[in-house]
Amino acid sequence: MDDDSLIIRYPHYMEGFTGTGLACIRSERIVFAGLGFAVSPGGALILSGPNGSGKSSLLRLMAGIAKPAAGTISWRGTELAGDPERFYTDMHYVGHRDAVKPALTVRENLAFHAALRASTGTGAADIDAALDRVGLAALADLPARMLSAGQTRRLTLARILASPAALWLLDEPTIALDTQSVERIHGAIAAHRAGGGILVASTNVPLRIEDALTIDMAAYAADGETIWGYST
């Protein structure tokens, strides 16, 4: 997987992905507050912490799905709200739900997600190459309902390989995967970073990712304080 031919060279930028003073409120409870991060091109950020500490919430803020209650997130020096469409083109988000349609075949599922990001110019060959890289090439024409949980997860991860994006936001990427697939993901992440890509991943299991920054979400917890009881 560390084959040089798989490395995609992303356009070079000095500035990476940064966030300052982020706070997240869910149903009137503060999940975290005062959180900041900065990842430069080629870097990796791991979010760790116990269940419910806000790892997924932070990833959703980073992806632009939810808006932070306070603070700003910038991509290559521009705030997310300033140019969301450019940011969405540069970003892959893999949540903990798989977004796989059981009625469609494996290839159709992946082709649909690649077509949503058509501006990146993904062709049929890229789809097959991505399926091959996650080891699903032999199952490409089966309906996705036939896949096991681990295979479905691999199909989800094939999305990030099918079309290039400089920022990967992965929520528990290795969940349900076998050791061989975990190796494949490690390889893909290494190739992504070698080309100047940025990775942000939440995880509870140790990921073998070299010189990654780690944010321990527990350090930013507001101990379940409600917004009424909280003062800045």
Partner 1 sequence: MSAFFALVGRDIRIALRQLSDTLMVIVFFVIAAALFPFGVGPEPNLLARMAPGILWVTALLAAMLSFDRLFQNDYEDGTLELLVVSPQPLWLTALAKISAHWLTTGLPLLVASPVIGIMLNLEPQGYGVLLAAMALGTAIISLVGALGAALTLGSRRSGVLLSLLVLPLVIPVLIFGAGAVDAAIGGFAATQQILLLGGLLLACLVLCPWGCAVALRMAAE
Question: Which stretches of the chain bind partner 1, using CB under 8 A?
Answer: 60, 63-67, 85, 88-89, 91, 93, 95-101, 103-104, 108, 111-113, 115-119
Please identify, using beta-carbon distances, which residue of 58 and 63 lies nearer to partner 1: 63
At its nearest, how many Å lie between partner 1 and the CB of residue 98? 6
Please identify, using beta-carbon distances, which residue of 122 and 181 lies nearer to partner 1: 122
Q: How crowded is residue 66: how many other Cβ atoms within 10 Å of its Cβ? A: 14
At its nearest, how many Å lie between partner 1 and the CB of residue 33? 18
At its nearest, how many Å lie between partner 1 and the CB of residue 77? 19
Please identify, using beta-carbon distances, which residue of 153 and 186 lies nearer to partner 1: 153
| Alpha helices in the chain, H assignment, sequence order | 55-63, 84-89, 106-116, 124-133, 149-162, 179-194
Query: For the chain, what's the residue count?
Result: 232
Please identify, using beta-carbon distances, which residue of 35 and 90 lies nearer to partner 1: 90
Q: For residues 78 and 82, what is the distance between their CA atoms, to the nearest angstrom? A: 7
Q: Which residues are CB-neighbours of 58 under 8 A, at least 6 positions away?
A: 22, 24, 32, 35, 47, 202, 217
At its nearest, how many Å lie between partner 1 and the CB of residue 97? 3
Please identify, using beta-carbon distances, which residue of 139 and 209 lies nearer to partner 1: 139
| The residue type at 133 | R
At its nearest, how many Å lie between partner 1 and the CB of residue 106? 14
Tokens of 85: 């469409």
Q: How crowded is residue 191: how many other Cβ atoms within 10 Å of its Cβ? A: 20
Tokens of 175: 């969940």
φ, ψ for residue 48, nearest 5 deg: -125, 170
Q: First vs last Cα of the chain: how many Å apart? A: 47
Q: What is the DSSP letter of 12?
A: P
At its nearest, how many Å lie between partner 1 and the CB of residue 156? 9
Please identify, using beta-carbon distances, which residue of 108 and 178 lies nearer to partner 1: 108
